[in-house]
Amino acid sequence: MNDTDYHLHVISFDVPYPANYGGVIDVFYRVKALSEAGVKVHLHCFEYGRGEAEVLDRCHEVKYYKRDTSLWKHFSREPYVVSSRRSEALVKDLLKDDYPILCEGLHTTAVLSDSRFQHRKIFVRAHNVEHDYYRLLAESEPTFWKRWFYRMEARKLEDYEPVLKYASGVFAITQADTEYFNAHYGNAVLVPGFSSVSKVCSETGRGDYVLYHGNLSVAENKKAAEWLIENVFAGLEVPCVVAGLNPPESLHKLCEPYAHVSLKANLGDAEMIDLIRNAQVNVMVTDQPTGLKLKLLNALYNGRFCLVNDGMVRGTALGQLCVVAETPEQFIAEINHLMDEDFTEEDMEERDDALKELYQNDKNALLLIHSIF
């Protein structure tokens, strides 16, 4: 390939740094891997609170656009996640050349239906099946108006999704999602999630606490934390830690009656990795079996034992590396058993071998390059 073959526009739904929640973790480390593989990445970020990030200047070019979060965008026939990211400034920047475009999620795909791009190579990274994800968000949301918004958004997303038939290709994050997009549009390729590590860095031996972590301002994660505290952690005697971004006051109050349950808020990246690495059991549950849970991947690379429900691993190949439970009684029994087990070098090697089959950033970057160019 000549030099111009390596240029790629990437449209990100958010500023992908700090890489501290699922979607932006995938974006940040994919952009990093593509850059290291020789691709000149032109990164376009919608900014709505995270600010500009100097570390992104390692890309060939970085542009920022304000997301239009005005009220009237909610009344568009398009999904709000799409209509609020329509930008004529972005369009003008993309039309300065004819380099291929990678859209992050349905959120950034307004260009797919724009006639000015009808002969352009445009690919989409699908982080999940969005309308399924939003319907499940609605089920987890206790607030009426938010529940109504998620249901309306799910309906709009399902109606909007056929725009993917105009894409040059869809890069799905799980095997289940790949099968779904291929059945509907016939243009999907499995490209597993990108993450911060490429080698298992777990500690051997034993830790002395159980950990649940996640972005606690997200309804799905808040609900999971509440379920674990009330149904699992309350029935244990070992120390239990809940950690993550922006926990609501209700979670603090839920932990208070239990002397062995603590809540840690807004830790830095290094502190969070230490917490994951030193736990004996990283426990994770979800009632939204959509996409890939990147926090699970993070725990598998950095932590000891991972105890999950089926929803965390459905549609992925990660179930073989975890202990799976469903009921509170099963979770309590598995935790009590795992607290007496050593995490060994053999456990690390087995996990490392399995993860290398799917989750190698450099290998998956080459898969993207082959597909796009």
Residues 113 and 165 in one domain: yes
Q: Does 15 score more than 60 pLDDT?
A: yes
Give mean pLDDT, residues 181-185. Answer: 97
As a whole number of angstroms, the distance between CA 136 and CA 144 comes to: 14
**Residue 267 main-chain phi, psi, to 5 deg:** -75, 155
CATH number, domain containing residue 326: 3.40.50.2000
3-class SS string, 161-215: HHHHHHCCEEEECCHHHHHHHHHHHCCEEECCCCCCCCCCCCCCECCCCEEEEEE
Asked, for residue 353, whether it belongs to a domain, the answer is: no
CA neighbor of 294 nearest in space, from 202, 213, 199, 207? 213
Residues 190 and 225 in one domain: no
As a whole number of angstroms, the distance between CA 113 and CA 96 comes to: 18
Give mean pLDDT, residues 261-290. Answer: 92
Give mean pLDDT, residues 308-330. Answer: 92
pLDDT at 1: 47
| Lowest mean pLDDT, pick from 102-111, 152-161, 253-262, 264-273 | 264-273
Domain that holds residue 270: 210-343
Residues 103 and 48 in one domain: yes
Number of domains in the chain: 2
Asked, for residue 142, whether it belongs to a domain, the answer is: yes
Residues 171 and 216 in one domain: no
pLDDT at 292: 67
Confidence of residue 4 (pLDDT cuts 50, 70, 90): low
Residues 242 and 189 in one domain: no
Give mean pLDDT, residues 282-302. Answer: 85
pLDDT at 180: 95
Confidence of residue 193 (pLDDT cuts 50, 70, 90): confident
Asked, for residue 329, whether it belongs to a domain, the answer is: yes
Contact 103, 112 (CB under 8 A): yes
Residue 244 to residues 180, 213, 215, 222, 247: CA-CA distances in angstroms?
32, 5, 5, 10, 7
CA neighbor of 243 nearest in space, from 213, 210, 273? 213
Q: Which two tokens stand for residue 241?
A: 């830690």
Q: Which long-range contacts (CB under 8 A, 24 or more apart) does 98-101 make?
A: 99/4, 99/7, 99/8, 99/9, 99/42, 100/7, 100/8, 100/9, 100/168, 100/372, 100/373, 101/8, 101/9, 101/10, 101/11
DSSP reduced 3-state for 159? helix
Q: Does 3 score more than 70 pLDDT?
A: no
Asked, for residue 338, whether it belongs to a domain, the answer is: yes
Give mean pLDDT, residues 19-28. Answer: 87
Residues 224 and 173 in one domain: no
Residues 215 and 145 in one domain: no
Residues 254 and 229 in one domain: yes
Asked, for residue 355, whether it belongs to a domain, the answer is: no
Give mean pLDDT, residues 367-372. Answer: 96
| % of the chain surpassing 70 pLDDT | 98
- Per residue in 41-92, pLDDT tens? 999 999 999 999 999 999 999 999 999 999 889 889 999 999 999 999 999 9
pLDDT at 356: 87
Residues 151 and 215 in one domain: no
As a whole number of angstroms, the distance between CA 28 and CA 15 comes to: 9
Asked, for residue 354, whether it belongs to a domain, the answer is: no
pLDDT at 95: 98
Burial of 264: CB neighbours in 10 Å, binned 0-12, 13-18, 19+: middle
Residues 183 and 217 in one domain: no
Residues 183 and 69 in one domain: yes
CA neighbor of 104 nearest in space, from 213, 19, 5, 27? 27
| % of the chain surpassing 90 pLDDT | 80
- Per residue in 220-266, pLDDT tens? 899 999 999 999 999 999 999 999 989 999 999 999 999 999 999 99
Residues 221 and 174 in one domain: no
CA neighbor of 294 nearest in space, from 310, 260, 318? 318
Asked, for residue 284, whether it belongs to a domain, the answer is: yes
Asked, for residue 352, whether it belongs to a domain, the answer is: no
Return mean pLDDT, the chain: 93
